[in-house]
Structure 1
């Protein structure tokens, strides 16, 4: 099973507290996800919750063709105002491990996402990644970049 690695960075002109508070609140993920994915947090206890190790977050998401899928992630690690990690427990990927890092820099915060994922399905997964999945993930992170700039500005 092939595992892929993607990394995305973005600088935003806010302090570390503001960045951390926004990105560590699960419901805010819907605000920075493309509307065509119809991304809905379905966990009943995530209204104002901050992330903590062991937190389970459930979603409904339509990654392709408007087909709604269940996605369950667990927040496995949290270091306050430094990083958190979410891992898929059930969903569209065979493997999903997503690191979110935050670093105070002059004038704001450097955010760094490191994503490892696998589709499974052997050779079909390789083809799906090359034709659809890698582009879709990059599109999602490009949308996020633009949305975060709209919300917080550009550094």
Structure 2
């Protein structure tokens, strides 16, 4: 299985507490997901993020095809980091680490995603032709949305 890595870094003009308050609430996922993906949370307990929390949602990432996705928060340390992993969904592997570090001017946020696609050789072709670019588009949208929300500094 071929594992890919996507890493982004963003500097936000906000305190680490303000960033954590936003990102530790699963309901804000919809805000930072492109509208054309029709992201909808189906079930979560309404609580702030904690290890063991399960979040289920539907979305339409490609060609308007609706998929179900289940994520579990595997680890979380307030104001520092959390990890979400796909338990059910389109990927053979989805492991997403979120780090928050205080800086002189606010907060440095780093996302590191390791992912793999099913179907072996066909999955590698799909990554090259579609998935890699789609993920870049999604994370660019997130960057721009978060910039607007937190007035990020470049």
Same fold (TM over 0.5): yes
Runs of 4+ in 1 over 3 A off after TM superposition: none
Give 1:44 shift. Answer: 4.5
Q: What TM-score, normalized to structure 1?
A: 0.97
Contact in 1 for aligned 2:43/2:55 (Cα 8 Å): yes
Q: Which runs of 5+ in 2 are unaligned?
A: none
Tell me which of 122, 144, 147 is aligned to 1:146. 144
Instruction: Name the CA distance, whole Å, in 2 between partners of 1:86 and 1:61.
Output: 17
Instruction: Name the CA distance, whole Å, in 1 between partners of 2:13 and 2:147.
Output: 9
Instruction: Name the CA distance, whole Å, in 1 between partners of 2:124 and 2:66.
Output: 23
For residues 47-89 of structure 1, give each alpha carbon's deviation from its aligned partner in whole angstroms, at most 9, with x where no partner exists: xx21000000001011101111100000000011100000000
Instruction: Name the CA distance, whole Å, in 2 between partners of 1:87 and 1:149.
Output: 25
Contact in 1 for aligned 2:12/2:152 (Cα 8 Å): yes
**3-state secondary structure, aligned to 1:33:** coil
Q: Which runs of 5+ in 1 are unaligned?
A: none
Structure 1 equivalent of residue 99 of structure 2: 101
